[in-house]
Chains A and B, each alone.
Chain A
Amino acid sequence: MTVKYTKDHEWIAIDGDVGTVGITNHAQEQLGELVYVELPEVGAILEVGDEACVVESVKAASEVYAPCSGEVIAVNEELADAPTTVNEHAEGDGWLFKLKLSDAAELDEAMTAAEYKKFLKELEE
């Protein structure tokens, strides 16, 4: 399984033609405690870069974008009652939705873990 990262601070774990999407630990740190997650609808067809769902902290609502085109085949229902799972396990149990990828080649440009780490370091400077 490969994990890729976007400049908008999403991660996508690719397993065959299914990608599991969430926000990165860096993103949750920046947002602070989440109070609401608006998930996409199962069956929704997303193009790469589309607004897929919304995560809301006390301060603000932030869009999460689709890192790759595809169909939403599952959403993390548990987040409805426990949005802070995203804060506790952003890159694990706090996943947001699963996509059936229509063109995994779109992810060729996305960053590897090492590249994302370097990207964050550059942001800080």
Chain B
Amino acid sequence: MTDAAHEGPLKKVPLADFHRTHGAKMVPFAGYEMPVQYPAGIIDEHNHTRAKAGLFDVSHMGQAWLHGAHAADALERLVPGDIKSLAAGQGRYTTITNDYGGIVDDLIVTGHGDKLFIVVNASRKHIDFPLIADAVGSEGELELIEDRALLALQGPSASKVMAHYVPASQHLLFMHGADLRINDIPCHITRSGYAGEDGFEISVPTEAALDLAELLQSEDDVMPVGLGARDTLRLEAGLCLYGNDLDEATTPIEADLRWTISKRRREEGGFPGADRILREIAEGPTRKRVGILPDGRAPARAGTEILAADGSPAGTVTSGGFGPSVKGPIAMGYVAAALAKPGTPLRLLVRGREIPATVVALPFQPHRYHRV
């Protein structure tokens, strides 16, 4: 969880009072003052999310509507994902790429009839939104949503909790969304999240955000969860953190995100860096993101050097730490393609010592999305 260099005072999220009331420890993150943990602590918050439900404030993320009959065509000029085929209410994870095929950001786009709902990373919105606005030009309009907070309710109890307030939320499948009311508060709810669990993301008007957060938090099964546990949950789920696992020098193919590029987009191209990305799809990338299980208990953090079994340089850990559900150290990193196969032995250079490790299939913790 590194914080990119941001100038000026930290911005406050609409739920700042909620975090204070519930005893959060606040830290700077992507230019915002955000809760890293509550008094329960990262491990309890993590375990509670896997067992019941965690309530996350992700209001720092960038939300926008992209209006216009040709909005999907415009966005497809920036991303290799299939946006044009999105039905109303259907969402998709994709990446904005640059001319070298590197990833400018990862984002979720949800169809909404005549417009698209876009959620991007906090640390990248100042780059993404001008790119999207330029791409759509006079064919449409990018409307930044600055009067809404974003809450995430994640975990196996999320569905039951939501059912109390919005029965219709039960009909949403993973990566689908709808405009729904919670106690008369107009929300845009998607069945999505970044914990590897069933769950919902709720875009809610700022003035109602505090009430909604307190309402959900008051449920027996719900505990507020900070960015610390959000990071351990997403790492166990094998999901990428922009700035760690993804950056402008890393392609979606290297990042093992080939699945985000549909057959039509592979055939048609027409996105930034298509030459390199399509070549890597055909020939394979030179390096690849993998899961890494270190032996023993010492965590291997981002930046840890990876060696092949023969001691030669093999790559770098991009996310690493302790997985509370795995109950041990876990990591993701990039290794030479020849070393990417699960079962491949590696060594990690932690404080001058070589720790044996093994390439493993991702995720570390099976996903439990609501797909059917």
Partner of A33, one of B36, B41, B297, B321: B41
How near does chain A come to B367, taking the closest CB pair, in angstroms? Answer: 21
Which residue of A is nearest B232, CB measured? A58
Task: Determine which residue in B36, B41, B297, B301 has the highest number of CB atoms from chain A within 10 A of its CB, and name it.
Answer: B297
How near does chain A come to B148, taking the closest CB pair, in angstroms? Answer: 29
What is the size category of the interface that chain A forms with chain B?
10 to 19
How many residues on the B side are at the interface (Cβ–Cβ under 8 A)?
A: 17
Report how far A60 CA is from B37 CA in the complex, Å. Answer: 14
Report how far A56 CA is from B42 CA in the complex, Å. Answer: 13
Is B140 engaged at the interface, CB distance under 8 Å to the other chain?
Answer: no
Is A36 engaged at the interface, CB distance under 8 Å to the other chain?
Answer: yes
- The B294-328 residues at the A interface (CB cut-off 8 A) are 297-299, 301, 321-322, 324
Decide yes or no: A56 and B299 within 8 Å by CB, A32-B42, A36-B322 being known contacts.
yes
- In the complex, which residues of chain A have a beta carbon less than 8 angstroms from the beta carbon of B36? 59
Is A35 engaged at the interface, CB distance under 8 Å to the other chain?
Answer: yes
Which residue of B is nearest A30, CB measured? B25
The tally of CB-CB contacts under 8 A between chains A and B is 40
Is A47 engaged at the interface, CB distance under 8 Å to the other chain?
Answer: no
Partner of A36, one of B1, B297, B324: B297
- The A28-65 residues at the B interface (CB cut-off 8 A) are 32-33, 35-36, 38, 54, 56-61
How near does chain A come to B320, taking the closest CB pair, in angstroms? Answer: 11
Report how far A59 CA is from B41 CA in the complex, Å. Answer: 11
- The A54-105 residues at the B interface (CB cut-off 8 A) are 54, 56-61, 80, 83
Which residue of A is nearest B229, CB measured? A58
Report how far A88 CA is from B297 CA in the complex, Å. Answer: 19
Task: Please determine whether B324 and A58 come into contact, CB atoms closer than 8 angstroms.
Answer: yes
- In the complex, which residues of chain B have a beta carbon less than 8 angstroms from the beta carbon of A80? 297
- In the complex, which residues of chain A have a beta carbon less than 8 angstroms from the beta carbon of B232? 58
Task: Please determine whether A54 and B351 come into contact, CB atoms closer than 8 angstroms.
Answer: yes
26 contacting pairs across A/B (C-beta < 8 A) = A32-B42, A33-B41, A33-B42, A33-B43, A35-B297, A35-B299, A35-B329, A36-B297, A36-B298, A36-B299, A36-B329, A38-B298, A38-B351, A54-B351, A56-B298, A56-B299, A57-B42, A58-B43, A58-B321, A58-B322, A58-B324, A59-B42, A59-B228, A61-B299, A80-B297, A83-B297
